[in-house]
Amino acid sequence: SPQIVWLRRDLRLADQPAFHAAAAQGPVVPVFVLDDGRAGDHAYGGASRWWLHHSLESLGKSLGARRSQIVLRQGDAPQVLAALADEVGAGTIHANRHYEPWWKEAEDELRDALGEDCELVLHDGNYLMPPGSVTTGSGDPYKIYSPFARSMLEVLPPRDALDAPETLHSPDSWPESDELADWDLLPTDPDWAAGIRDFWTVGEDAAHERLDWWADEVAEYDEGRNLPSQDTTSRLSPHLHWGEISPVQVYHRMKHLRSDGWQTFLKEIIWRDYAQNVICQFPDYARESYRDYDERTLWRNPNAGKLIRQDLECWQKGMTGYPIVDAGMRQLWQTGWMHNRVRMIAASFLVKHLLIDWRYGEKWYWDCLVDADYGNNGVNWQWISGTGVDSNMFSRIMAPLTQSDKFDAADYIREYIAELADLSDDEIHDPADDRRGDYPVKMIGHKEARERALGAYHAAK
Ligand code: FAD
């Protein structure tokens, strides 16, 4: 009988266990359901919708070349899938596991909605090791990254990568599909995606091209990963997030490399596995703090007053007067991505210098990032704000100007802040007020902000 492959963040053909299993058993009906209501406050952000459109288009073309296609449907995923299973007489729905709480719920609801003739079979495909499988000696999941990473390094290598199925048999007739263009995933008026289009090529082939390039560059990663002016990180994050490439493929492509850069890079890929391990244990991790602060006194609430709201808006628009923070926020807006070092500096600025609740920042990144990921975003925001189960201390406050100088961000600032493009390397990290032209002065001094943050922290503890 026909086999449905339920696609979510696994938009690839190679090393795609759900596809692989389905193709071995019968005609394959790949389906993507746009279920806008399910994720609530974590419905796809604008940049994610842009990426999703292009990724579905790209996968559709690859399937077309194999005389297959994707069926696009909209609505409540379990209901839509159960109805589709009836319609095509499917014996099995194959899917790769996803750990966002709304997807786990959807899987349970789907099992309930399916009749006796069809079953849901879940596969592990998007992580180095299945989340939850790397445990302490007593079998408990890890809460803290470092011991998790040590254990992970002991159990690696991961499973072998699977080749793309050579043939995909089609059903006798194809069920109806929505038109991708009718989903309105792309912006129209205004078209804010020009910078994102320039920066990225979406899809499985592009992901592998980037990986091939990266295998030659990774030796520089140890030092280069902190330098936002240089292209010395992989930029695989949206490809990994959307599952256009799997970390298992990345591992096997690079495992023979002997450089320290590869070892450091592997630990970052392990952070990605760790974040899923965290949301399995704490499903609300991108929504709730886990430290015992009185958050009502800790944060300045943007809904409580116009001035605080304006502070948040200055940060969002890249108008704080701190060039490194603003370059990052403008890179985010223009390209849908921000360099990791600058993500940290900008996030720390919001929660410590402006004392604004990390959830406002999480939400902004969620809307603007093409790699917006429930696990990675929540884990990293909580790390920076000192509110998570594994966190930096709140009292560790990053100094943005020192960071900018130390990590040589002058060219990066020039690229994203046109107002400062003529300033020298010496001046650009912290220009004198009369050298800023139209660029704003600092909204708050570093020392003053630091004292205010520490005061609020001690009061809230
Ligand atoms: P590389 O340095 O080349 O790393 C390779 C891969 O490892 C990345 O593609 C990513 O999949 C993974 N990785 C790297 N660093 C981390 C990390 N700290 N945590 C988890 N995985 C990591 N990453 C996201 O994918 N989605 C997010 O929504 C996200 N939000 C973030 C929010 C904040 C406040 C911070 C500080 C970091 C966030 N990150 C997020 C992590 C990191 O910044 C990005 O993964 C990285 O910048 C992507 O660029 P790259 O692919 O060149 O990374």
Residue 236 labeled ligand binder: yes
pLDDT of 392 reads: 85
Angle, vertex CA 172, rays to CA 169 and CA 178, nearest 5: 90
Residue 197 has pLDDT above 90, yes or no: yes
353-233-141-347 Cα dihedral, nearest 10 degrees: 10
The residue whose CA has the least distance to atom 42 of ligand 1 is: 340
- Distance (angstroms) between ligand 1 centre and the Cα of 241 equals 10
pLDDT of 292 reads: 85
The CATH number of domain 1-125 is 3.40.50.10540: no
Residue 19 has pLDDT above 90, yes or no: yes
Least confident of 264-278, 388-402, 422-436: 388-402
Percent share of the chain, pLDDT over 70? 100
Phi-psi region of 374 (alpha: psi -120 to 50; beta: other; left: phi over 0): alpha
Query: Does any ligand 1 atom lie closer than 6 A to the CB of residue 340?
Result: yes
Residue 183 has pLDDT above 90, yes or no: yes
Structure tokens at 175: 């069920």
Query: Does any ligand 1 atom lie closer than 6 A to the CB of residue 38?
Result: no
| Mean pLDDT, residues 103-117 taken together | 96
| Mean pLDDT, residues 289-303 taken together | 90
Which tens digits make up the pLDDT trace of 375-404? Answer: 999 999 999 999 999 988 899 999 999 999
- Distance (angstroms) between ligand 1 centre and the Cα of 346 equals 14
Residue 237 labeled ligand binder: yes
Alpha helices in 156-220 (DSSP H): 194-199, 204-217
Q: 151, 96, 105, 145: which is closest to 124 by C-alpha?
A: 96
- Distance (angstroms) between ligand 1 centre and the Cα of 110 equals 31
pLDDT of 271 reads: 98
Length in residues, the chain: 461
Residue 136 labeled ligand binder: no
Which tens digits make up the pLDDT trace of 46-101? Answer: 999 999 999 999 999 999 999 999 999 999 999 999 999 999 999 999 999 999 99
For residue 429, give the amino acid letter. Answer: H
pLDDT of 413 reads: 98
Residues facing residue 123 across a β-bridge: 96
Q: Match domain 127-160+203-281 to its CATH number in 1.25.40.80, 1.10.287.3510, 1.20.1070.10, 2.30.110.10.
A: 1.25.40.80
Residue 189 has pLDDT above 90, yes or no: no
Q: Match domain 295-460 to its CATH number in 1.10.579.10, 1.20.58.760, 1.10.3470.10, 3.40.1110.10.
A: 1.10.579.10
Mutation test residue for ligand 1: of 254, 380, 383, 390, the one with most atoms within 8 Å of CB: 380
The dihedrals phi and psi of 444, each to the nearest 5 degrees, come to -155, 145
Which tens digits make up the pLDDT trace of 333-351? Answer: 999 999 999 999 999 999 9
Ordered by start, the domain boundaries in the chain are 1-125, 127-160+203-281, 295-460
> How far is 306 from 394, CA to CA, in rounded Å?
26
Averaged pLDDT of the chain: 97
Residue 425 has pLDDT above 90, yes or no: yes
pLDDT of 461 reads: 86
| Mean pLDDT, residues 433-452 taken together | 97
- Dihedral sign, Cα of residue 131, residue 116, residue 75, residue 28: positive
Confidence of residue 373 (pLDDT cuts 50, 70, 90): very high
Greater pLDDT, 256 or 392: 256
Residue 371 has pLDDT above 90, yes or no: yes
- Dihedral sign, Cα of residue 13, residue 14, residue 18, residue 19: positive
Number of Cβ within 10 Å of residue 406's Cβ equals 13
Atom number of ligand 1 nearest to Cα 347? 34
pLDDT of 296 reads: 85
